[in-house]
Amino acid sequence: MHTGYRDQLGLSHYDILSGSEILGSHLENHVREKGKIELLDNTISKKDIDVLRALGYTEFGYARHNLRRKAWHIILRSQYVAEHNDKIQSTAKTVTHKDEKQIELDVNRSFNNLKNGPQRAYLRKVLQKLLIRFFRSNSELSYYQGFHDVLSIFILVFLNYDDDNTGEHVIYKVENIESLFYCVEAFSLLYLRDFLMPTLDFSIDQLKVIQNYILNKDEELYEKMQLDVIHPLYAISSVLTVFAHELKPTVDDQSHEIFEVFDMIISSQSMFLPLKIYATLFLQFKSDIITTYEVNIENFENEADLIHCVIQQVIQKNLYSHEIHNESFINAIKKVRLAKASEYTLTNVSDMVNVYSPLVTTARGESQLFTSEEINEIVGKQLIYHNKQQQLKIQAKERLLKPKSKHINSMLSIIGGHGSISPLIKASIAVAIVAILLRMNKNKRIIAGISTGKEFIGEIKHLHSSIFYSLKNSYWKDPLKIVLHTYKKLQNQLSSSDFER
């Protein structure tokens, strides 16, 4: 891994991006799109990576696809060097990947927004070839639904639009398939690894960063939406597809805002960008989210389901706009671009994601160069770490299940161990205990109850002598009273325990 680009003024790339005091303000206020195209053309011809990266983060991004694909290729080559073994690659081309059936299904659903049938068929063919080639070359990774949407953006950027032919059935074709594949592979391995694991666990961990942003910016909203306990499943579609599932550019719309997002991600080498944008949208639609939540709260038994539904519905409703350009999304991009880096600084990200996540390794917002050998090593370690985490989860579930029958049997043995007590009273106490367990389960506290089963058993053991002594001497008139009292004490213990956090 290599780091440390410096521009001709002695400023780091990060300095340029975070404040834009030098290039950013000049471009935002004085150089409009036409002027920027000229500047980009000149910068690309010089292959001035520092300036090129700074330009990609400012207004209009890389402006046009003929410039954009060149800029992406130049910058991604400064981040990733492929060192493919020809023998391994040749073998990989013939080995079927486990997810190819799902890939075929998703490809057949892609580019549906295009009216030109022959163009759509061509793009689907290219998309399938890219996906198959990528996963046969990186067979240890797993396909996820939505990955094809990400690759669709790359394909549109690499189409040759310089053909003078026009008409309804004109087919634009990919200009350089090898350059396209290089960019797809580099972007996927550097930025999307968390999403390409066998399960969604690492993806969910990354999405929790959104909730941390919300906490830092609006604690009231964070608490209202219970983001301390709600898993951010509502953001899966948007972030894992880098908004490509919601925002569908047409073939000839080279200035669509979705391309600016990819320009910003690649130029800053940061996978925090989609998370920042989503958090900004969340805050932007705060009023609508809260209103929709309050209107529907009586219609949902499960509040967590309601919260997921409301957040996803409100944000996607605004993203699935029929307008050519989505103003809400454009405003969110502007806010993220103009915000100071400190506004999105999270000191505890490393505690929220796995140690091999792009957020803390290959796409953390710093200029870095990785070889394919280094990436393969990271992928291997990340998969091992993932599998160990899965094994720990399985073991944890097994430990939770084992004590259950043990504690219940202990309670029953306490009751059944007193032969002098009437069978009717024993049955009453047994019914009470079952009722308590059912009540705990209904309140989603059965795990806490089982986990504190020793305390519950201890409480019953502590009380059982006096209970049965009282019963024996006919002093205890209500056989459920002390059992219910014990349950009430257990509830109080649980409400102050770690299980309630």
Which pLDDT tens digit goes with each residue over 372-403?
999 999 999 999 999 999 999 999 888 888 75
Two structure tokens written together for 446: 């059965």
Contact 133, 182 (CB under 8 A): no
Residue-level pLDDT at 499: 37
Residue-by-residue DSSP string for 230-262 = S--GGGHHHHHTTTTTT----TT-TT-HHHHHH
Residue-level pLDDT at 422: 58
Residue-level pLDDT at 168: 62
CA atoms within 13 A on the CB side of 118: 7
CA distance 192 to 206: 11
CA atoms within 13 A on the CB side of 174: 20
Residue-level pLDDT at 25: 46
Contact 179, 69 (CB under 8 A): yes
Residue-level pLDDT at 320: 76
Residue-level pLDDT at 433: 61
Place of tokens 């009380």: 463
Q: Which of 61, 46, 63, 64 is nearest to 7 (CA)?
A: 46
Residue-level pLDDT at 322: 56
For 74, the enclosing helix (H) or strand (E) is: helix 65-77
Residue-level pLDDT at 11: 33
The phi, psi pair for 6, rounded to 5°, reads -130, 140
Helix (H, G, I), strand (E, B) or coil at 270: strand
- Please report, as a single letter, which amino acid is at residue 438: L
Instruction: Tell me how far apart the 2 most distant CA atoms of the chain are, in Å.
Output: 103
> Cα 105 vs. chain centroid, distance in angstroms?
23
Residue-level pLDDT at 368: 94
Q: Give 264's contacts (C-beta < 8 A, 6+ positions apart).
A: 56, 57, 61, 273, 333, 336, 337
Roughly how many angstroms between the first and final C-alpha of the chain, as a whole number?
Answer: 41
* Cross-strand partners of 2: 369
Cα dihedral sign for 185, 186, 188, 193?
positive
Contact 186, 262 (CB under 8 A): no
CA atoms within 13 A on the CB side of 441: 7
* Cross-strand partners of 12: 6
Q: Which of 103, 200, 117 is nearest to 149 (CA)?
A: 103
Residue-level pLDDT at 299: 85
Residue-level pLDDT at 479: 44
> Cα 465 vs. chain centroid, distance in angstroms?
54
- Quickly count helices (H) and strands (E) in the chain: 24, 3
CA distance 150 to 126: 13
CA distance 490 to 240: 42
Q: Give 372's contacts (C-beta < 8 A, 6+ positions apart).
A: 80, 81, 82, 83, 84, 189
* Cross-strand partners of 371: 81
- Please report, as a single letter, which amino acid is at residue 208: K
CA atoms within 13 A on the CB side of 327: 1
CA distance 267 to 50: 9
Contact 199, 386 (CB under 8 A): yes
Contact 353, 205 (CB under 8 A): yes
pLDDT average per 10 residues of sequence, the chain (501 residues): 38 39 45 83 94 94 95 98 64 82 97 92 97 97 97 97 63 94 98 98 96 94 95 95 93 92 97 96 96 91 91 89 75 89 64 95 95 97 97 89 58 52 58 58 45 48 43 41 48 45 36
Burial 268-295 (b: 16+ CB within 10 A, else e): bbbbbbbbbbbbbbbbbbbeebbebbee
Residue-level pLDDT at 369: 97
Instruction: Report the relative pairing of strands 80-81 and 368-371 from DSSP bridges.
Output: parallel
Long-range contacts of 467-470 (CB under 8 A, 24+ apart): 468/418, 468/420, 468/421
- Please report, as a single letter, which amino acid is at residue 399: R
Helix (H, G, I), strand (E, B) or coil at 405: helix
Three-state secondary structure of 148-162: HHHHHHHHHHCECCC
